[in-house]
Amino acid sequence: MAARWQGTIALLLLIIISYIDRVNISVMILNPDFATHFQLNENRMLQGMLMTCFLLGYGFSALLLTPVIESKLHYRQGLLSSIAIWALVCAISPLLGSLMGMLIARIILGVAEGPLFSLKTRFISDNFAADEIGKPNAVTALGVSLGLAVGFPLVTWLMAHVGWMGSFYALALLNLLLGGGLIWRFLPAPAVSERRAKPGFIQTFALAWRTPLLGWILLVEIATLSYLWGSSAWLPAWLRDEHHFSLQATGLLAAVPFLLSLGSKLLGGVILDKMRPEQAPLLFIIGGLLTALSVLALMLSQQPAMLALFMLAANVFWGLQGAVIPAVVQHHAPREAVGSAYGIINGIGNICAAFIPLLMGMVMKSAGSVSSGFSVLVVSQLMTLCAGGVLLLRMRRAAAAVNASIP
């Protein structure tokens, strides 16, 4: 296997590991011992705050730390430093004795994980041609769904066998040994020719901010991440509290929709490589519309078979969009600031999406049901549809102008 694909697979596995870290709280809040230890009880707003704090740390880190790493370090060095901090935070989390301590730990974990997707995007941009980026972007995007699909049942199994404290220690070892080992072995160290002077932090950040259509791409990212974090934060509670599955069954069932989105993400990457760059937003329009309709049908359905069908359909249609955002960024951003441009989009997107679990928790508390909070997900996908439509028009217009200028 070519070295660039070995690095891509290593990044895929690292993303899987990072998402297991991110969603463990969604399962742990169902554990009475964990909830009692951190004084969570049945307070949906406090439970949502645990995810919100992680996403705030993650968002500001992706926004501000990525340009520092891109201008001062190689992506290998940046990722290894981040992994060491992830592992440390996981290891000390069970030792914290208060909710405030855990909230701070989640912020620090978010800061450590923040640059991951931006550095991944830079790696692909550096190692693949413009007409080849669809597949590596799609492969690494699989890490989101695989991480959620593996994370829900894995954390459930760990809590059943080693307790909630032991599960934190196990994840710390997974981060350090497997995550760190993969990056150390398969992401090449910077060559001598790469150690030339790089643009400074200010120049890199300024270049990234000048990426064409940045605002519209950002709107799509906010909507996409709102769906991701809203659904992954509350799907276990919806299965457990509204449909009365056991904790073990909840962990397995929560994984199924994200497993099914694997195929649609790969399909999206294949379609993307066959499209002209200016056609890419079509996947936002189609995916956003069908996802919104599926979630709305899910909220209105009562029969178990229909609930299952629409839950699976929503994630399949959402998965179609997985490879498009990094591809659009790679197409528009200056090459030396690709990682920082994606960092801006991913950072601000996560800062905004950070409040979605909390907002959904407030809707649930007000309406008295978990499913009522899913209305927020419908709105997020309608945002994807609208912003995708504007992107399609603007990118087609720009492409037509370029073609008209060619004699």
Q: pLDDT (tens digit, 9 = 90+) per residue, 313-367?
A: 998 899 888 788 888 888 888 877 887 888 889 889 988 988 888 888 888 888 8
d(CA 104, CA 110): 10
Q: What is the overall mean pLDDT for the chain? A: 86
How many domains are contained in the chain?
Answer: 1
Q: Which residues contact 5 (CB under 8 A, 6 or more apart)?
A: 136
Residue 73 has pLDDT above 90, yes or no: no
The dihedral of CA 333, 337, 343, 349: what is its sign? negative
Residues 111-163 pLDDT 10s: 999 888 888 888 888 888 877 888 898 889 888 888 888 888 899 899 999 99
pLDDT digits (tens, 9 = 90+) for 214-256: 999 999 999 999 998 888 878 887 888 777 778 778 877 877 8
DSSP classification of residue 243: T
What is the rounded average pLDDT of the residues 303-307? Answer: 81
CA distance 16 to 182: 12
Q: Is the pLDDT of residue 198 over 70?
A: no
What CATH number corresponds to the domain at position 10? 1.20.1250.20
Residue 294 lies in a domain: yes
Contacts of 249 (CB under 8 A, 6+ apart): 239
Closest to 273 in 3D by CA, of 388, 396, 117, 129:
129
Q: Which run of H or E residues covers position 39? A: none
Q: Read off φ and ψ for residue 70, nearest 5 degrees.
A: -65, -35
Query: Does residue 273 form part of some domain?
Result: yes
- Which percentage of the chain shows pLDDT scores above 70? 96
Query: Of all helices (H) and strands (E), which one includes residue 49?
Result: helix 44-72
What is the separation, in whole angstroms, between the first and last Cα of the chain? 42
CA pair distance 73, 70, nearest whole angstrom: 6
Give residue 191's pLDDT. 60
Is residue 87 classed as helix, strand or coil in its secondary structure? helix
Relative orientation angle of helices 338-353 and 214-237, to the nearest 10 degrees: 50
Q: How many CB atoms lie within 10 A of CB 193?
A: 6
Residue 174 counted as domain residue = yes
Q: Where are the alpha helices (DSSP H) in 210-303?
A: 214-237, 247-274, 282-300
Lowest-confidence range among 62-66, 213-217, 235-239, 264-268?
Answer: 235-239
Mean pLDDT for 20-27 is 84
Whether pLDDT at 385 is above 70? yes
Residue 12 maps to a domain: yes
192 is a domain residue = no
247 inside domain? yes
Q: Which domain holds residue 306?
A: 3-187+199-401
Query: How many Å apart are CA 146 and CA 178, to the nearest integer?
Result: 16
